[in-house]
């Protein structure tokens, strides 16, 4: 048992070092697995080591009403170049800490040549994290593009939140 624990400790350090080292082709919003579910690569690094990217901050908004509120944290603004895939973690939390919430995200008003798909999902106490991949075609011209993400929890419509993609030159 002790040997197994040592092997796991060494493997954990190796994985953490390989995750945090900046490699060609990596992006700050690449998704990695963390103890609290999916996380952005820029927000997960080895203590004492310099992070090559600034942290990615999420915008927080409360939806619903006083009797049944939900907190949504997500990136409402993403800058990128055409031909890229960016990630957006939508964290939906409710104070009841129920593990069985059914969360549905509905993307609407998607601009031409931009595709948004669900990549993965993680459940924790009162939290559902959904990773949305935003694929920007090489055909997209520079500019700002807006769409909305509707949030339904357990069949109830909580409204929608805006997202902006700024395509750079």
Q: Percentage of the chain with pLDDT > 90?
A: 65
Backbone angles phi, psi at 66, to 5 degrees: -60, -30
pLDDT of residue 15: 38
Residue 15 belongs to a domain? no
Whose CA is closest to 165, among 55, 83, 101, 68?
Answer: 83
What is the band of 97 on the pLDDT scale with cuts at 50, 70, 90?
confident
Backbone angles phi, psi at 18, to 5 degrees: -70, -30
Residue 81 belongs to a domain? yes
Residue 14 belongs to a domain? no
What is the band of 35 on the pLDDT scale with cuts at 50, 70, 90?
confident
Q: Which residues pair with 115 in a beta bridge?
A: 135
Query: Is 80's pLDDT higher than 70?
Result: yes
What's the domain count of the chain?
Answer: 1
Q: How many helices (H) and strands (E) does the chain have?
A: 1, 11
Give the start-end residues of each E strand in 68-169: 68-74, 77-81, 85-93, 103-108, 114-124, 127-136, 143-153, 156-168
Considering the entire predicted model, what is its pTM? 0.81
CA distances from 44 to 31, 56, 114, 149 (A): 10, 10, 28, 26
pLDDT of residue 96: 81
pLDDT of residue 45: 77
Half-sphere exposure of 88 toward its Cβ, with a 13 Å CA cutoff? 29
Query: Is 63's pLDDT higher than 70?
Result: yes
Residue 131 to residue 119: CA distance in whole angstroms? 5
Query: Does residue 19 contact residue 32 with C-beta atoms inside 8 Å?
Result: yes
Query: Does residue 151 contact residue 159 with C-beta atoms inside 8 Å?
Result: yes
What is the band of 7 on the pLDDT scale with cuts at 50, 70, 90?
very low
Residue 159 belongs to a domain? yes
Structural domain for 74, as ranges: 24-45+58-168
Residue 138 to residue 34: CA distance in whole angstroms? 31
Residue 131 belongs to a domain? yes
CATH number for the domain that contains residue 99? 2.60.40.10
Q: pLDDT tens digits for 113-135? A: 999 999 999 998 889 999 999 99
pLDDT of residue 143: 97
Residue 124 belongs to a domain? yes
């Amino acid at each position: 048992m002790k040997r197994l624990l040592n092997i796991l400790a060494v493997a954990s350090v190796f994985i953490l070092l390989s995750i945090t080292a900046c490699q060609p082709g990596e992006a700050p919003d690449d998704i990695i697995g963390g103890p609290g579910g999916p996380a952005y690569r820029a927000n997960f690094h080895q203590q004492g080591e310099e992070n090559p990217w600034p942290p990615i901050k999420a915008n927080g908004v409360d939806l619903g009403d006083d009797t049944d509120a939900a907190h949504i944290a997500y990136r409402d603004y993403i800058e990128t170049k055409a031909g890229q895939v960016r990630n957006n973690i939508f964290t939906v939390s409710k104070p009841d800490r129920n593990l069985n919430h059914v969360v549905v995200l509905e993307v609407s008003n998607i601009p031409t040549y931009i595709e948004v798909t669900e990549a993965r999902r993680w459940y924790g106490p009162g939290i559902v994290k959904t990773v949305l991949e935003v694929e920007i075609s090489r055909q997209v011209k520079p500019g700002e593009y807006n769409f909305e993400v509707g949030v339904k929890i357990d069949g109830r419509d909580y409204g929608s939140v805006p997202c902006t993609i700024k395509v750079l030159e």
